[in-house]
Amino acid sequence: MIVVNVKENESIEKALKRFKKKFDKTGVIRELRGRQHFEKPSVTRRNEVIKASYIQRLRDEEGK
């Protein structure tokens, strides 16, 4: 459970922003979206390889 203590003289907007940041760091939404449909392990690995090659290509272009 996420607990955000509202400090004295702190606006609700700032406290809400801190809550949203903590909530995003937990990764609940990403996990929920990932569980909406089953993805075979081979497809997951293939997507990871494609993503890694894309990132590597970006880094290679940056280094030139």
Q: What is the per-residue pLDDT across 16-35, written as a single tens digit (0 to 9) for each?
A: 999 999 999 999 998 999 89
**Residue 1 falls within a domain, yes or no?**
no
Q: How many domains does one find in the chain?
A: 1
**pLDDT of res. 52:** 98
Considering the domain boundaries, does residue 55 fall inside one? yes
Does this model's pTM top 0.85? My answer is no
Q: In terms of residue numbers, what domain contains 24?
A: 12-63
Question: Cα dihedral sign for 37, 42, 47, 48?
Answer: positive
What are the angstrom distances between the C-alpha of 33 and each of 1, 18, 58? Answer: 20, 23, 27
pLDDT the model gives residue 47: 96
Please tell me the predicted confidence (pLDDT) of residue 13: 94
Residue 49 lies in a domain: yes
Distances (CA, A) of 36 to 29, 39, 43: 11, 10, 15
